[in-house]
Structure 1
Amino acid sequence: MISTSKNLQAVDSWQQVLAPYNVGYRVKLLSQLLTRKFTERLEPFGLTPFHWLVLCCLWQEDGLPTSCIGEKLQQVGGTLTGVLDRMEERGLIRRERDSSDRRIWRIWLTDAGSQLETVLPPIAADLREQAMCGISHSEREQFSQLLNRAIANLS
C-alpha cells in the first residue's frame, strides 16, 4: 500500500499538469486576454492583431518579400495573403514585384501605413504596462527570457 505522503506528492505533481494550473493553460489564457484587449484597442482603426504584426515587420524593414514576412510571423501563405489583401484594400500597404526576380512580391508601406507607427506602438505599450503592472523590470526580463527558452525548447 502506498503511503499517504506519497499519495499527496502524486496529487501535487499532477496538479501542475492539469488545467487550470498548468503553464500551457495559463500562457494560453494570458495570450487570449492580451489578444482580446489589444483587439478592442485596434478596433477604432479597423485593424486586427495580425495587421499589427505585419505593420511591425514593415516598420522595421520596409519592402520585405511576402515570404520573409511569413517566416518572421511563422504563418502559412494563404493566411498571410488574405491579411495582405485586406491591408492593401485599406491603403496601408502596396505590393510590387521584385525588380530582379519577378516571382517575388515585395510589400511596401503606404503613407497611411507609415503614419500608424506614431499611433499604434504607444497603444501596445500601454497594454503591456497594464499587463505587467506590479512586475519589476528585472522580473519582466526574466519572464521574457523564460518564455523564449520554452519556445526554443519546443521549436
Structure 2
Amino acid sequence: MKSRLKQFDITPVQYGVLQCIWQLNMHNPKEIAQFLDLENSTISGILERMENKDLIIREIDENDRRYIKIDLTEKSKALEAPVNKVVEEVNKDVMSIFSEEEKQTLKKYLRRIITI
C-alpha cells in the first residue's frame, strides 16, 4: 500500500485520515483519531504534515476556539477517485492469493475484530 500511495505523496495513515473525511464526513481531529485508534498527539502531527502538503485545512471554530475543524483542499478532493482506485487494486491483489472459502473466513474474522 505504501509504495502504491507514494505516487500521490500520501502515506497509508494519511489515506486513513482522508477516508474519514471523504467517506465518513468526519471533520474533528479527536473523532478521526478515535476512529483510527490514534493518540491525539499523533493525529496532530499527521494533520500538520497533511496541511503542509496542501491536503487539508485546519480552521478554528469562530464560536468555540477549542474546536478545530478539518476541511479538504481542492488537491485532496481531486485525489479521492484515483487514490480509491489504487487502494481497490491493492485490496484486489491481496485478496487474489486466497481461495473463495479463505476470503469468506478472513472477512468473518475481520468483522469479529471490528466488533471488539
Shorter-chain TM-score bucket reads 0.7 to 0.9
Deviations 1:50-106 (CA, angstroms, capped at 9, x unpaired): 110001001024461111111111100111111100100110100112243220101
Q: Which segments of 5 or more consecutive residues in structure 1 lack a partner in the other structure? A: 1-37
Contact (CA 8 Å) 1:63, 1:108: kept in 2 or not? Answer: no
Select which of 112, 115, 130 maps to 2:93.
130
Aligned partners of 1:98 and 1:62: how far apart in 2?
17
**Contact kept in structure 2, 1:62 and 1:108, CA below 8 Å:** no
One-letter identity of the residue aligned with 2:91: R
Q: Does 1:81 align with 2:44?
A: yes
Counterpart for residue 103 of structure 1: 66
Higher relative contact order structure (alpha carbons within 8 Å, sequence separation ≥ 6):
2
Q: 2:93 & 2:48 partners in 1: Cα distance?
A: 32
Q: In the alignment, residue 135 of structure 1 is paired with which amino acid? A: S
Cα offset, 1:141, TM superposition = 4.3
**Secondary structure, aligned partner of 1:64:** coil
Q: TM-score, normalized by length of structure 2?
A: 0.87
Once residues 135 and 116 of structure 1 are traced to their aligned partners in structure 2, the CA distance between those partners, rounded to angstroms, is 32
* Equivalence for 1:59: 22
Provide the alpha-carbon RMSD of the alignment: 1.9
Q: How many residues align?
A: 115
Aligned counterparts of 2:6 and 2:36: Cα–Cα separation in 1: 21
Which residue, out of 51, 72, 79, partners 1:116? Answer: 79
> Larger Rg: 1 or 2?
1
SS at match of 1:106: strand
Q: Say if 1:93 and 1:110, in contact at 8 Å, map to a contact too.
A: yes
Contact 1:65 1:105 in 2 (8 A): yes
Structure 2 portions without partners, runs of 5+ = none
